[in-house]
A and B are shown apart, each in its own frame.
Chain A
């Protein structure tokens, strides 16, 4: 079990640039989630995929954010025209269909917008 893999682990970007994060879930996990976490706060839900279908989106996911999971395996989270307020850790998690109440998080991707 290799766990949920995220990359890059750290990204520093200038305001206005686009960034993309990749998440590789645990093999055979059909469900995939993105959360965002700022310093001193708990994670906040962004979006949820069941296979390739994006089934839930938070109001936090503004139109500058887009998430995809084209083949139901890995997922990407893109942020366009980054703002300083986007600085946070972006967490990916996955879970199997069985045992639906436990999700497994990756180590996160830190974004700093300067």
Chain B
């Protein structure tokens, strides 16, 4: 199965770090790992992507396992606005394969 595997839901307290895991055990050597998030009734929003090395941007960090079979999206300080469905995807930009995502709830 080319889809990724993520927990259905996770909770975090506001201003605490959140680690969202993703399993992509069948990933090929050329597939990038992308993370998107989606608010209700909106299209997915790009968060971060990477190939082999860990990546950081203003929104989040992406930690990629050495064997590339899993990755973790890290939100350093969760805010209420970070509550969304987070999708870990794989593939080239020409054809991303999404799983069912993780619903992140941020508690005040």
Which A residues are within 8 Å of any B CB, using their own CB?
Answer: 4, 31, 33, 40-45, 48, 55-56, 58, 91, 93, 95, 100-108
Contacts and interface: CB of A to CB of B under 8 A. Distances in A.
Interface stretch (B11-19, B61-69, B72-80, B87-95): B87-95
Contact of A101 (B36, B49, B98): B49
Contacts of B97: 45
A107 B42 contact: yes
B92 A104 contact: no
20 contacts: A31-B93, A42-B98, A42-B101, A43-B44, A44-B98, A45-B95, A45-B96, A45-B97, A48-B94, A91-B43, A91-B44, A100-B93, A101-B32, A101-B49, A101-B93, A102-B93, A103-B93, A107-B42, A108-B42, A108-B43
A68 B70 CA distance: 37
A101 B42 contact: no
Could you say which interface size class chain B belongs to? 20 to 34
B44 A105 contact: yes
Interface in B26-60: 32, 34, 36, 41-46, 49
Contacts of A105: 36, 43-45
Contacts of B101: 42
A41 B96 contact: no
B99 interface: yes
Contact of A42 (B45, B87, B95): B87
Contact of A41 (B36, B92, B100): B100
Contacts of B98: 42-44
B68 to A, nearest CB: 15
A106 B93 contact: no
Contacts of B44: 43, 91, 105
B26 to A, nearest CB: 16
A40 B96 CA distance: 17
A106 B45 CA distance: 9
